[in-house]
Amino acid sequence: MGLFAPPPWGYDDGMDKNGFSNAQWAFLRVLGIAETVAVPPPPKNPGLPSVQTLPSCIGSPAVPKAELQATAEADQLPGQNQVMTLGQTSPAHGAVPSDAHLGQRGRMIQAMDWGELTHSIHACRACSLGETRQHAVVGAGTPAGPWLFVGEAPGAEEDRRGEAFVGRGGQLLDAMLRAMGLSRQQNVYITNVLKCRPPNNRDPLGPEVKACLPFLQRQIALLQPKVIVALGRFAAQGLLQSQEPLANLRGKPQFYGEIPVIVTYHPAYLLRNPVDKRKAWLDLQLALRTFAQHSSRTAASAVATE
Ligand code: URA
């Protein structure tokens, strides 16, 4: 079965008489609102898939030794010339920029609306990537959606088309979203730490991340997502202003201000190391649970203030 074949529990098997796919029912159940929408037919596999019923788009169960090697590789810190000088350690509660830390450029960006921000990303020459890019990539998907996925930087295809995650990694990301009952067309916005492609897809350099991060921070302030999923080390460390390895940031919600951040592997890494897709699926399930908890908390506090 191919990597992008439909998952085995029928998530992509069309709609039932209520007009929902199994994936959508699973998601509504996670949110605890399935019963209020309609009475579904008995699902083939109720609830979210467990690790044992890992969807084929996420991959096959791990071989422990290979998994350990792949994890060690994924967790490597940047090399000497590519160190991210972003901050010291994770702040207790995220890394929202404070006025004291913003320079004049940062303050200007933090005052922009979405249109001004988009324009300013396209016009940006704050680092040398502005000279080599074909297109700056603002993002892709549904800005009004409650989910934000953050990657590293545009690749060749994204640079050519000016849209985030449209290459092979993007296809895997779309499959991961489908497995969660999400899609960029409906409820997910996708962007990157860097808005311009580093030549030959090399790792982002510290000064490039520093120059570009205010754009991401302003995007988050304007989008106000309920949950952020950080794809890979650069997204996680950039968002959280941390130098912790990915392994230390996975497994529990981190925070960007009040917004929960779930850290997982980058799709390009998963394409090279499919053995870690099992762990990525655990992360995505954590993201769904966190989203459900956060939504019910938000709903409860709305009721309390009525
Ligand atoms: N990898 C990323 O991190 N972002 C993209 O947009 C494409 C590939």
Residues in contact with ligand 1 (CB, 6 Å cut-off) = 151-155, 158, 164-165, 167, 169-170, 192, 268
CA of 188 to the centre of ligand 1 (A): 15
Strand partners, 150: 191, 230
Question: Which atom of ligand 1 is closest in space to residue 157's alpha carbon?
Answer: 7
Q: Phi first, then psi: give them for residue 151, nearest 5 degrees.
A: -100, -160
CA of 113 to the centre of ligand 1 (A): 24
d(CA 81, CA 88): 17
Q: Walk me through the domains of the chain, giving residue ranges and CATH numbers.
A: 1-45 (no CATH), 50-301 (3.40.470.10)
CA of 244 to the centre of ligand 1 (A): 21
Sheet holding 254-256, edge to edge: 140-141, 188-192, 147-151, 227-231, 259-264, 254-256
Pairing of strands 254-256, 259-264: antiparallel
pLDDT digit string (tens) for the chain, length 306 residues: 333 333 322 333 343 433 345 554 454 454 443 443 343 333 333 333 333 333 443 433 332 333 323 333 333 323 323 333 233 233 444 578 776 677 899 999 999 999 999 999 999 999 999 999 999 999 999 999 999 999 999 999 999 999 999 999 999 999 999 999 999 999 999 999 999 999 999 999 999 999 999 999 999 999 999 999 999 999 999 999 999 999 999 999 999 999 999 999 999 999 999 999 999 999 999 999 999 998 877 777 766 766
Pairing of strands 188-192, 227-231: unpaired
Question: Which atom of ligand 1 is closest in space to residue 152's alpha carbon?
Answer: 3
Residues in CB range of 24: below 8 A, 6 or more apart? 181
d(CA 142, CA 173): 15
Q: Extract the tokens encoding 166.
A: 């449209």
**Residue 203 is inside which H or E element, if any?**
none
The preferred substitution site among 188, 192, 196 for testing ligand 1, maximizing ligand atoms within 8 Å of CB, is: 192
The preferred substitution site among 135, 158, 229 for testing ligand 1, maximizing ligand atoms within 8 Å of CB, is: 158
Question: Which atom of ligand 1 is closest in space to residue 267's alpha carbon?
Answer: 1
d(CA 52, CA 166): 29
Burial letters for 86-124: b for 16+ Cβ neighbours within 10 Å, e otherwise? beeebeeebbbbeeeeeeeebeebbebeeeebbebbeeb
Q: Extract the tokens encoding 86.
A: 């972003």
CA of 276 to the centre of ligand 1 (A): 18
In this predicted structure, what is the pLDDT of residue 22? 58
Q: Catalogue the E-assigned strands of the chain.
A: 140-141, 147-151, 188-192, 227-231, 254-256, 259-264
Residues in CB range of 130: below 8 A, 6 or more apart? 124, 136, 196
In this predicted structure, what is the pLDDT of residue 97? 76
